[in-house]
Amino acid sequence: MRKPYVAIVDDDSSFSAYLRTFLSLRGYEARCYTRGDELLASMKQAEAPDVILLDVMMPGLDGLATLRALKTSRPEAQVIMLSGRTQASTIVEAVRLGAADYVVKPDDPEGLGEIALDVAIKNALEKNRLVSELSELRQQLSDDEDRSVWGNSEKMRNIATVVEQVADSDVTVLIRGESGVGKELVSRAIHQRSTRKNRPFVKVNCAALPAELLESELFGHERGAFTGAATTRIGKFEQADTGTLFMDEIGEMKPALQAKLLHVLQDAEFTKLGSNKRINVDVRIVAATNRDLEKMMLSGEFREDLYYRLKVIELTVPALRERLDEIPTLTDFFTARYSKKYNRPLKPVSEQLRQMFLQYEWPGNIRELENMIKRVVILQDEHLVVREIEHNMQRVAAMAVAATPAYATVGLPAGLGGPMSFPPPPLPVPDPLDAVDDLEPAVAEETGGSLASVAKAASIKAERAAIEQTLRQVHWNRRKAAQILGVSYKTLLNKIKECGISRA
């Protein structure tokens, strides 16, 4: 069984030797450091101590400054402050900064100071044990949540496999996908399965701030670096030191700031705004975007060297409409989560709404589904969500009707080159929702008459009409028809099959 490791940070070598003997006799492994920055540097290279005994008065980086730095990089660190005398203001400040205890250096003949120190160390170790158990419990709950939210589709299982393979390395990962598909969930899964899981996970949204504020958010600033900089600020990189930094919406970052980010990725160091001092950091980068970075590179909006630096491992999270088999599991998961969170009765979603969920296109992906379930749980009423889905499905059907190609094919006399396309004469613009009104009564009866079913039938009818007209115009050249309709060749083939279209 491993001995508990206690670090002693004190510039008094004789007192450090005394403490080492004191700790060794009680079964601890003790290591001595003479300065705070010496301990901080060692913790980047080796294992962290279970408990740190930190002298208040030291030259250079004093005890309180060292405590502040420790709690910034490793909030879980158990630090016991040591001092030759009792100072109320110092004790208050140490506790405010997160010290586990404050002990006067043991030098009394009755050994009362030694007893106090021994008790403080045991309390700190017990707190470590409780924190570790809580972390394991949270990890177990997180794994259960992952299984619920990630689902069982083949595409998501493939992503989970890659996550397991790359999590314990420090390579950068680029996560791609539409807004709301769960890119942050994937990034947290990478962190939780890595050797950094007990270190900070820090998130920054690159689209949430203008460029000048984003630079300060990432790298920090010194007091007076710019107007309004009243105090020194630690940036996200320093906060994430030894942990993981999740950079969401990386495609929104301006090229000038991209250059500084590239420098940090290459050299693992940076300078704060208003400072010339280099700061070294050990940070694993996970970036996410819903933008077309390749197109942005061609237009000069995104640096090519940064793109390849980020894209060591690339994961693409599929849209929810490509993972419809996960919707029932997600529905039940979110229902249970928000019923508990908002103290509402656990009421299963109706079968009607479940069927609508399976027919819906989900432009907002998992986030949209989550918000809909949240509204159902809070209001204990499905009608608002049902009307919202019906409205959105009708709008999609209307757009499909309006997208019918506005050109006609005419035949030329023999020998003049065959058929050519000319614009048709102006036609009256139809009301797109007429597609719903034009449904035959039989269709309405078959669908059960609900707005969602009627809208779906109208959408299929409109798609069939648009596809048939385009295919006739291009003489059943399906690749050309796909280009005109703005869909992939595979999608068009699926739609032809779905709509029951056949060549006469």
Amino acid identity of residue 264, one-letter, is: V
Residue 504 lies in a domain: no
pLDDT for the residue numbered 93 = 84
pLDDT for the residue numbered 331 = 92
Same domain, yes or no, for 466 and 341?
A: no
Residue 27 lies in a domain: yes
Same domain, yes or no, for 66 and 181?
A: no
Alpha helices by DSSP H, listed for 235-326, are 236-239, 255-267, 293-298, 304-310
Residue 394 lies in a domain: no
SS3 207: coil
> Which of residues 52 and 412 earns the better pLDDT score?
52
Same domain, yes or no, for 426 and 333?
A: no
Same domain, yes or no, for 15 and 164?
A: no
For residue 238, how many other CB atoms are within 10 A of its CB?
A: 21
The pLDDT-based confidence of 142 (bands split at 50, 70, 90) is low
Same domain, yes or no, for 173 and 273?
A: yes
Residue 399 lies in a domain: no
Where does a domain end: 362, 377, 392? 377
The pLDDT-based confidence of 236 (bands split at 50, 70, 90) is very high
Where does a domain end: 105, 133, 161? 133
CA-CA distance, 222 to 241, in Å (whole number)? 18
Question: What is the tens place of the pLDDT at every residue in 315-366?
Answer: 999 999 998 888 998 899 899 989 999 999 999 999 999 999 999 999 999 9
User: What CATH number should be reported for the domain holding residue 261?
Assistant: 3.40.50.300
Residue 398 lies in a domain: no
CA-CA distance, 36 to 253, in Å (whole number)? 36
Residue 230, strand partner residues: none
Same domain, yes or no, for 101 and 166?
A: no
Where does a domain end: 354, 377, 400? 377
User: What CATH number should be reported for the domain holding residue 347?
Assistant: 1.10.8.60
pLDDT for the residue numbered 447 = 45
The pLDDT-based confidence of 311 (bands split at 50, 70, 90) is very high
Question: What is the tens place of the pLDDT at every residue in 479-504?
Answer: 888 877 777 777 888 888 888 888 76
Burial class (CB within 10 angstroms; exposed 0-12, middle 13-18, buried 19+) of 428? exposed
Same domain, yes or no, for 222 and 186?
A: yes
Same domain, yes or no, for 435 and 414?
A: yes
**pTM for this one?**
0.57
Residue 194 lies in a domain: yes
> Which of residues 224 and 249 earns the better pLDDT score?
249
Residue 392 lies in a domain: no
For residue 36, how many other CB atoms are within 10 A of its CB?
A: 26
Residue 224 lies in a domain: yes
Same domain, yes or no, for 9 and 78?
A: yes
Same domain, yes or no, for 13 and 109?
A: yes
The crossing angle, in degrees rounded to 10, of helices 154-166 and 112-150 is 150
The pLDDT-based confidence of 441 (bands split at 50, 70, 90) is very low
- In 3D space, the residue among 59, 99, 62 whose CA is nearest the CA of residue 79 turns out to be 99
CA-CA distance, 265 to 282, in Å (whole number)? 10
The pLDDT-based confidence of 137 (bands split at 50, 70, 90) is low
Q: How many structural domains are present in the chain?
A: 4
pLDDT for the residue numbered 114 = 77
Residue 103, strand partner residues: 82
Residue 315, strand partner residues: 175
Give CB contacts under 8 A, 24+ apart, made by 261-266: 261/218, 261/306, 262/303, 262/305, 262/306, 262/309, 264/237, 265/172, 265/306, 265/309, 265/310, 266/309
CA-CA distance, 228 to 232, in Å (whole number)? 11
Torsion of the alpha carbons at 103, 109, 112 and 117, rounded to the nearest 10:
40
Q: Provide the residue range defining the domain that includes 331.
A: 322-377
Same domain, yes or no, for 234 and 174?
A: yes
Cα 1 to Cα 27, 28, 130, 318: the distances in Å are: 11, 12, 18, 46
Tokens of 85: 């005398």
Same domain, yes or no, for 328 and 312?
A: no
User: What CATH number should be reported for the domain holding residue 121?
Assistant: 3.40.50.2300
pLDDT > 70 in the chain, percent:
82
Alpha helices by DSSP H, listed for 167-206, are 183-192
Cα 391 to Cα 263, 374, 380: the distances in Å are: 49, 19, 21
pLDDT for the residue numbered 403 = 60
SS3 270: strand
User: What CATH number should be reported for the domain holding residue 487?
Assistant: 1.10.10
Length of the chain equals: 504
